[in-house]
């Protein structure tokens, strides 16, 4: 994908909430494309321009969004 589209990490195949559970509990995830920044965690819903975005399957995106919604409902 080109770097001109605005995307959200929650809908990207390269995004993971499972790679760092302690940060996922804070609502942050890890982009596997950020190999040069190992301690960087990103917001799943912040709109950004990304040249490495790879659309995730819709079911995976929906499951992530639901998990994050439940997390926020718990008051995290």
| CA separation for the pair 74, 37 (Å, rounded) | 30
Task: Evaluate if residue 9 carries a pLDDT over 80.
Answer: yes
Tokens of 41: 């965690």
Give 16-63 pLDDT, tens digit per residue.
999 889 999 999 999 999 989 988 999 999 999 999 999 999 999 999
**Rg of the Cα atoms in the chain:** 12
d(CA 67, CA 17): 10
pTM above 0.85, yes or no: no
- Report helix, strand or coil for 64: helix
**Which of 14, 29, 12, 34 is closest to 67 using CA atoms?**
29
């Amino acid at each position: 994908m080109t770097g001109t589209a605005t995307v959200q990490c929650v809908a990207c195949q390269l995004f993971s909430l499972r790679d760092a559970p302690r940060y996922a509990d804070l609502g942050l995830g890890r982009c596997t494309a950020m190999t040069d920044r190992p301690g960087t965690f990103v917001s799943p819903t912040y709109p950004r321009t990304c040249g490495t975005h790879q659309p995730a399957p819709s079911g995976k995106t929906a499951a992530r969004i639901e998990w994050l919604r439940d997390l926020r409902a718990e008051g995290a």
